[in-house]
Amino acid sequence: MGFSKKLPRYLYSAALYALSPLIWWRIHREQVPTNSRWERLGFSPDLPADAPVIWLHCASVGEVRAARPLLEALLARYPVHTVLLTTMTATGAQQAQALMAEKGSSRLVHGFLPLDFPGVARRFVRRVRPVLALMFETELWPNLLDACHRRKVPLAVVNGRLSPGAFSRYQRIRPLLNAALQQVTWLAAKSEADAERFQALGMTRDKTAVIGSLKFDMPSQDKALKEGEHLRHSFGKRPVWVAGSTRDGEEKLLLEAHRQLRQKLPEALLILVPRHPQRFEDVARLCESFGLATVRRRRNQAVQPYTAVYLGDTLGELAMLYAAGDMAFVGGSLVPLGGHNVLEPAALGLPVISGPSWENFEDVAPLLHQAGALTRVENSQSLSEALYQLACQPALRQQQGDAAQNVVKAHQGALQRTLDGLERLLPATVSPLGSSEPT
């Protein structure tokens, strides 16, 4: 690669060094006790010395959840390999560790993504020595991609997504992204629109495949359904709606909608699940400020007949909490943040409600909307009205829930297509979906 093509990355690296105090301050809070801060500087967690490593990077908790079927398939498909799962955020780390505990496999290891300084990136790749690197969705770190390219590590972007907003931002640094994308071996795009945006930034068509969204290939929800049904039974016969993955500034709108709903249905219960654990205390105080009797799951507090809000202030239980409701609102959508995973409640057979912002799921949310499985609302009042209609019409809830599950089933298959593409980069040693992981 000539100097002119390297120049954007050199300038990018210089900017990182100049901003390093601010970057380190920002990343300082994204930490968990089980991981060393040295991981941010490329000192990878301990890995088995004799096992080849597949490296999969997921930014945060939502990406880890979405990548779970792929992780499980990789462990089954490559039984002698270690899978290193890196995350950027502490919530992603906690989700990864919950998955590790559930799997009980020493072949799944978690670490934090190193900061994208040139020397740090090279140190990380040199220490990990991956035989395959996978970036989930929109994770394009120029120096890490370059470090993989230097060591001839095949690198794939899986479940590749570029929202219109991200595309607009990336266009401002197109020369940098163009050079980075030249180092991607294969792009598995979620949709044709995503593929076209990647290509507009420099990804070549011959290295691109449109495989659909991995989010449709969800793991079995039987456990969540069983536990959710048990929790739902403890609430008694009352309307229950769930607001999952809610964000700062959104809870006020949701609590106002709930207050309006309770004027018509005084027994209505809201299960409120903020996305980030560092906000649990603030959200609890906000519920109290609305005068809504609130109990907290983390404290094992029982729901009483007068309870108005059940605060889901735990990690790793969103699916179960969705399953305890009659209908679900998916957060990050009444505020302009692009929305979160509308497929989680859809796969459980719940009617889905979203605010107007669903850019992060533009390949998924419109499918549910067109099938009559998702209701789009604009504000607290329209949300309250939608909830009231669903609460009063069991047949409508059933119809929309069935439609949601049908959409999920109809669009599955991206996992197998992803595995087929990865086969060309790293041949499998066992059948990709038909084998269980050795103990």
Joined together, the tokens standing for residue 37 give: 């801060």
How far apart CA 363 and CA 373 sit, in angstroms, is: 15
Joined together, the tokens standing for residue 350 give: 């719940």
Q: What is the pLDDT along the chain (439 residues), one digit of tens a residue?
A: 567 678 999 999 999 999 999 988 888 888 888 889 999 999 988 898 889 999 999 998 889 988 999 999 999 999 999 999 999 999 899 889 988 888 777 899 999 999 999 999 999 999 999 999 999 998 999 999 999 999 999 999 999 999 888 899 999 999 999 999 999 999 999 999 999 999 999 999 999 999 999 989 988 889 999 999 999 999 999 999 999 999 999 999 999 999 999 999 999 999 999 998 889 999 999 999 999 999 999 999 999 999 999 999 998 899 999 999 999 999 999 999 999 999 999 999 999 999 999 988 887 899 999 999 999 999 999 999 999 999 999 999 999 999 999 999 999 999 999 999 999 999 987 755 544 443 2
For the domain covering 222-410, report its CATH number.
3.40.50.2000
Alpha helices (H) along 298-393: 318-323, 343-347, 365-370, 380-392
Question: For position 431, what pLDDT does the model report?
Answer: 58
Question: For position 432, what pLDDT does the model report?
Answer: 54
Question: For position 2, what pLDDT does the model report?
Answer: 65
Rounded to two decimals, the pTM is 0.78
User: Can you point out the beta strands (E) in 284-385?
Assistant: 294-296, 309-311, 327-330, 352-354, 374-376
Q: What residues does each domain of the chain span? A: 3-217+412-423, 222-410
Residue matched to tokens 């300082």: 28
How far apart CA 379 and CA 374 sit, in angstroms, is: 15
Active-site entry in 30, 39, 63, 317: 63
Secondary structure letter of residue 277 according to DSSP: G
Residue whose C-alpha is closest to residue 320's, from 353, 297, 295: 297
How far apart CA 3 and CA 136 sit, in angstroms, is: 29
> Given its phi and psi angles, is residue 136 left (phi above 0), alpha (psi -120 to 50 degrees) or beta?
beta
Question: For position 438, what pLDDT does the model report?
Answer: 34
Secondary structure letter of residue 104 according to DSSP: T
Residue whose C-alpha is closest to residue 418's, from 88, 138, 149, 67: 67
Q: Is 63 a catalytic residue?
A: yes
Residue whose C-alpha is closest to residue 271's, from 325, 203, 345: 325
Q: 209 in helix, strand or coil? A: strand
Joined together, the tokens standing for residue 245 give: 């993955």
For the domain covering 3-217+412-423, report its CATH number.
3.40.50.11720
Question: For position 80, what pLDDT does the model report?
Answer: 94
- Note whether 3-217+412-423 and 222-410 share their fold: yes
User: Given strand 155-160, what is the order of strands in its sheet?
Assistant: 108-112, 82-87, 53-57, 130-136, 155-160, 186-189, 208-210
What is the separation, in whole angstroms, between the first and last Cα of the chain? Answer: 45
